Amino acid sequence: MKKNILGLFALIALATVFSNCSKDEEDLSGVGSLTIEFDNRAGDAALVFGNDYKNAAGETLKFSTFNYFVSNFVLIKSDGSEYTVPKDSCYFLCKHDDPDSREIVLNNIPAGDYEEIRFMIGVDSAKSVSDISQRTGVLDPASGASGMYWAWNSGYIFVKVEGTSPQAPLDPMLGENIFQYHTGLYGGLTSPTLNNIKTVTLHSHDEPAQIRRDKEAPTAHVFVDVLEMFTSPTNISVAVNPTSHAGPYSKTVADNYADMFKLDHVHNH
């Protein structure tokens, strides 16, 4: 009996060793996917068009439009090695009133554990000036990018925010007190302009995104706070600066929204 018990313990110990070896030698070959879900917020609250929110200047804002381009994604492992998502699969237009547009999927990512996500807010200069045949889907000015492209300025609007506020001046044409911020500019082609492209790096402080060929894609849940556009480093007042398009003030707007993205958590399925 004693020999049988000792034999049983030996088998259990051996099984444990093999199990640990199996975990240590996990198959990281092949490719997988990553889902990124952009959850639009207004401070600590969910963003709902038509609801009242306060900016840092104490003004009351009601939002009616919140759109933004994100592009040029790079995934970074804990050892610092990077995977750059191919450019042709790397441009997304997120619209608050289109929830499906705010859940994007990056495919064919080499298996591994990724701790950081880096991307641009906007559309890079190379793509902005490329032949129209190379700008399809959400980059097509006539269809997917409709309303997010300046025909008069031949450039994409990177971030569009619109709404009303009792503190904003009355627009006599619309009969409403509106604010409107359409921010673009990539540095210019034939003559220099402002470059309002911003690069964001998000770090997972909990577990990394575990991308595997035989598992469901992990989800990175990202908060996007529209009120960040109105504060830090500059508090923006809709009473003083109710509109901004391609003028010098667009740099102030872009500098503010550069930190509106925060990685809340990664969910590995």
Q: How many domains does the chain have?
A: 1
d(CA 172, CA 30): 60
pLDDT(262) > 80: yes
- 62-84: pLDDT as tens digits: 999 999 999 999 999 989 999 99
Q: When comparing pLDDT for 43 and 28, which is higher?
A: 43
Question: Do the domain assignments include residue 104?
Answer: yes
Domain membership flag for residue 155: yes
Q: In this prediction, what percent of the chain has a pLDDT beyond 70?
A: 90
* Within a domain: 1: no
Query: Could you tell me if residue 194 is inside a domain?
Result: yes
Does any domain span residue 65? Answer: yes
Give the list of residues 6+ apart from residue 195 with CB closer than 8 angstroms, or none. 125, 185, 186, 187
Q: Distance from CA of residue 47 to its chain's centroid?
A: 16
Cis peptide before 208 (omega within 30 of 0): no
pLDDT at 11: 47
Over residues 243-253, mean pLDDT:
97
109 contacts 75 by C-beta, under 8 angstroms:
yes
> Does the pLDDT value for residue 16 go beyond 60?
no
Q: Is residue 16 part of a domain?
A: no
Domain that holds residue 65: 32-267
Computed over every residue of the chain, the mean pLDDT equals 91
Is residue 145, in this structure, part of any structural domain at all? Answer: yes
Question: Residue type for 38, please?
Answer: F
Say which residues have a Cβ less than 8 Å from residue 204's Cβ, sequence separation at least 6: 115, 116, 220, 263, 265, 266
Inside any domain, residue 70: yes
